[in-house]
Amino acid sequence: MSNDTTGKESRQVAFWRGAFGTTYTQRNAPDDWQLRSRVRMWSEILRSTVGAPPTSILEVGANLGINLRVLGSLVDAKLHALEPNAAARARLEEDGVLPADAIHDGFASAIPLADGAVDLAFTSGVLIHIHPDDLEASCREIHRVASRYIVCVEYFSDKPESIPYRGHDDVLFKRDFGGFWLDLFPDLQVLDYGFAWKRMTGLDNLTWWIFAKP
């Protein structure tokens, strides 16, 4: 099913704003093993930035901030979250993850921040939930607001595919997202990439890339 909603709210964003996204947020406990696994993954991702660490970071689709909770202890950076689900935004504030002025209501294809507003912008398990028709506009927005680094942590498939997600169709899409980024912006420099294997990390077989803007 086509979407063609560039810059507008898609069916997929409405899905995450609604009951599905709120139930996901209630289920998504930031427990110790989750946080420890993310510390390991982010320590690897950020290794290539040690000479020039980011001083501001935006997570696009932060939910209740499992990544941001970890990043706050790993880097000295001003953190921002963009998140369409109201319950998740409330948790970010109630749990003291971020101050209210750093929590933005919105979605990837229309980010309410200025060009180059942050040093590093990233998604983790979010591009997979964006309809292919909206993916280019979403990546262009992430590229626009990031001044130095882009990080992408997603499910990988060498061919684009749509797979059922908890009984729903048209809400989970896999592909080679690293390749998608490079095809869209050939001047991005690949600083590093890696894989968080479920058997060793507990994370969900996540493939990650870190790119530098020229």
Structure tokens at 49: 């930035």
Residues that bind ligand SAM (rule: CB under 6 A) add up to a total of 22
C-alpha to C-alpha distance for 175 and 155, rounded to whole angstroms:
7
Q: Which one of the spans 48-56, 70-78, 125-133, 194-202 is the region binding ligand SAM (CB under 6 A)?
A: 125-133
Q: Which is nearer to ligand SAM, 67 or 214 (CB)?
A: 67
In 3D space, the residue among 42, 45, 212 whose CA is nearest the CA of residue 143 turns out to be 212
Beta strands 161-162 and 173-174, pairing class: antiparallel
**Residue 126 sits in the site that holds ligand SAM (CB under 6 A):** yes
- Of residues 41 through 70, those in contact with ligand SAM by CB under 6 A are 60-63, 66-67
**Residue 178 sits in the site that holds ligand SAM (CB under 6 A):** no
- CB atoms under 10 Å from CB of 163, counted, come to 12
**Residue 196 sits in the site that holds ligand SAM (CB under 6 A):** no
Could you tell me what percentage of the chain is helix, strand and coil, using 3-state DSSP and rounding each to the nearest 5? Answer: 40, 25, 35
Beta carbons within 8 Å of 101's beta carbon, 6+ residues apart: none
Q: Which is nearer to ligand SAM, 16 or 209 (CB)?
A: 16
The contact set with ligand SAM (CB under 6 A) reads 12-13, 16, 21, 60-63, 66-67, 82-85, 88, 107-108, 124-126, 129-130
